[in-house]
């Protein structure tokens, strides 16, 4: 299992289980963070699995991302690579 920490000055992130999927509600606080999230979206949009992560944009830099369970770790890793997470580590 992966655990992560956010930087509250960069974003607010809430995670919830939605059936077999995980739903992330993200509120970005800076314009450059929007660009970083778009890079994460491009990773998932560019592969052949069209339902691995679905991105929905709302007003005021708010996003909902629905991630299939088997892509949960991939999504967190991409957020970390984009510097949207402060830390990411394996936990028992």
- Asked if residue 4 is part of any domain, the answer here is no
Q: What is the pLDDT of residue 68?
A: 96
- Asked if residue 53 is part of any domain, the answer here is yes
Per-residue pLDDT at 50 exceeds 90: no
List the CATH number of the domain containing 46.
Answer: 3.30.70.260
Per-residue pLDDT at 67 exceeds 90: yes
pTM above 0.85, yes or no: yes
pLDDT tens for each residue of 12-49:
999 999 999 999 999 999 889 999 999 999 999 998 88
- Asked if residue 18 is part of any domain, the answer here is yes
Domain with 34 in it: 10-87
Distance of CA 85 to the CA centre of its chain: 9
- Asked if residue 64 is part of any domain, the answer here is yes
């Amino acid at each position: 299992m992966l655990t992560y920490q956010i930087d509250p000055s960069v974003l607010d992130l809430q995670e919830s289980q939605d059936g077999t999927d995980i739903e992330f509600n993200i509120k970005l606080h800076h314009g450059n963070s929007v660009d970083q999230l778009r890079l994460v979206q491009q990773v998932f949009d560019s592969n052949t699995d069209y339902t691995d992560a679905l991105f929905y944009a709302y007003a005021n830099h708010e996003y909902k991302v629905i991630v299939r369970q088997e892509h949960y770790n991939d999504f967190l890793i991409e957020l970390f690579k984009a510097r949207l997470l402060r830390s990411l580590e394996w936990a028992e």
